[in-house]
Structure 1
Amino acid sequence: MAYWLMKSEPDELSITGLQTLGQARWDGVRNYQARNFLRAMAEGDEFFFYHSSCPEPGIAGIGKITKTAYPDPTALDKNSHYFDAKANDEKNPWSAIDVAFVETFPKVLSLGYLKQQAALEQLPLVQKGSRLSVMSVTPEQWAAVLALR
């Protein structure tokens, strides 16, 4: 099993929203490196659910991958914020995955708090200039974050 961290704005999809839904499509990723990480995910992989662009950015819980990468339908939807005019049915460069709820943390592990943890200094999330919405997490980093909850 591999581990990941994925960011979502809570007004788009939050950990409590995923809990209510049970599972959801993770779509709208428009960065090629992040998209490649989506394509590398396997069913059963787990991810930290990170709330971004909100008053308290941080890791809010855990989800798991339930369906591997497939063409992102939002790229073809003219009414979607994630519409890509260059995409079509034959050539859609963007991918989506399906995810399910696993756990909500008792408190959000804020970015500032995560940056203070020596065990996480190599985690791309805490490194200056890192803006990816999807990133890999090592087993050691996964265990270090779990110990903080």
Structure 2
Amino acid sequence: MNYWLFKTEPDTFGIDDLYSRPNQTEPWDGVRNYQARNFLRDEVVVGDEVFIYHSSCKVVGIAGIATVVKAGYPDETQFDPESNYFDPKANRSNPRWFRVDVKFKQRFTKVLPLKTIKALPQITQLGLVKKGHRLSIMPVPENEWQCLCNLAESN
């Protein structure tokens, strides 16, 4: 199993939206960064766990956990001219963008703030703590995942 952090803006879609969906499952679509796309297409697999990270909001940080229930497949929004994520260069025989499906697992009582995460001496590899790292999808080392889960649950 691998561990990931997926960023989202809670005004658009957040942990509460995932919790309230029928079956609590949703495609994670609209990713338009090639490195993040490569993670979705090639590395994120069924059973992986994901931190849902809220950005561009009052309390920026980790809000909960989801589980990957469907591995990478073409993101249909790239083919829809009415979608904000439409890509005129994409085609069905060679899709450019991929998504995975995630299922709600846990909502933290309080968001684990970025400020707190950055202050932890044991968090050194997570992209969030590295200067200039802005990916919307990033791997989380297992030891750092466990540390953040423990802190969030005691928060």
Q: Same fold (TM over 0.5)?
A: yes
Following the alignment from structure 1 to structure 2, what is the Cα–Cα distance between the partners of residues 13 and 7?
10
What percent of counterpart residues are identical? Answer: 50
Residue 121 of structure 1 deviates from its aligned partner by 2.2
Matched residue, 1:53: 56
Establish whether residue 9 from structure 1 lines up as the match of residue 12 from structure 2.
no
Following the alignment from structure 2 to structure 1, what is the Cα–Cα distance between the partners of residues 91 and 65?
33
Q: How large is the Cα RMSD of the aligned pairs? A: 0.8
Matched residue, 2:40: 38
The structure 1 residue matched to 2:83, chosen from 80, 96, 102, is 80
Following the alignment from structure 2 to structure 1, what is the Cα–Cα distance between the partners of residues 124 and 72?
29
Following the alignment from structure 1 to structure 2, what is the Cα–Cα distance between the partners of residues 115 and 67?
31
Structure 2: gaps of 5 or more residues: none
Q: SS state of the match for residue 119, structure 1?
A: coil
Following the alignment from structure 1 to structure 2, what is the Cα–Cα distance between the partners of residues 55 and 128?
21
- Contact 2:125 2:141 survives alignment (8 Å): no
Q: SS state of the match for residue 125, structure 1?
A: helix
- Aligned residue-pair number: 149
Residue 54 of structure 1 deviates from its aligned partner by 1.3
Q: One-letter code of the match for 1:30?
A: R
Query: TM-score, normalized by length of structure 1?
Result: 0.97
Q: SS state of the match for residue 105, structure 1?
A: strand
Structure 1: gaps of 5 or more residues: none
Following the alignment from structure 2 to structure 1, what is the Cα–Cα distance between the partners of residues 104 and 82?
27
Establish whether residue 63 from structure 1 lines up as the match of residue 62 from structure 2.
no
Q: SS state of the match for residue 120, structure 1?
A: coil
Matched residue, 2:129: 126
Following the alignment from structure 1 to structure 2, what is the Cα–Cα distance between the partners of residues 35 and 63?
18
Q: One-letter code of the match for 2:136?
A: S
1:82-121 equivalences under 5 Å are 82-121=85-124
Following the alignment from structure 2 to structure 1, what is the Cα–Cα distance between the partners of residues 89 and 58?
34
Query: TM-score, normalized by length of structure 2?
Result: 0.93
Residue 14 of structure 1 deviates from its aligned partner by 0.6
1:16-27 equivalences under 5 Å are 16-21=16-21, 22-27=24-29
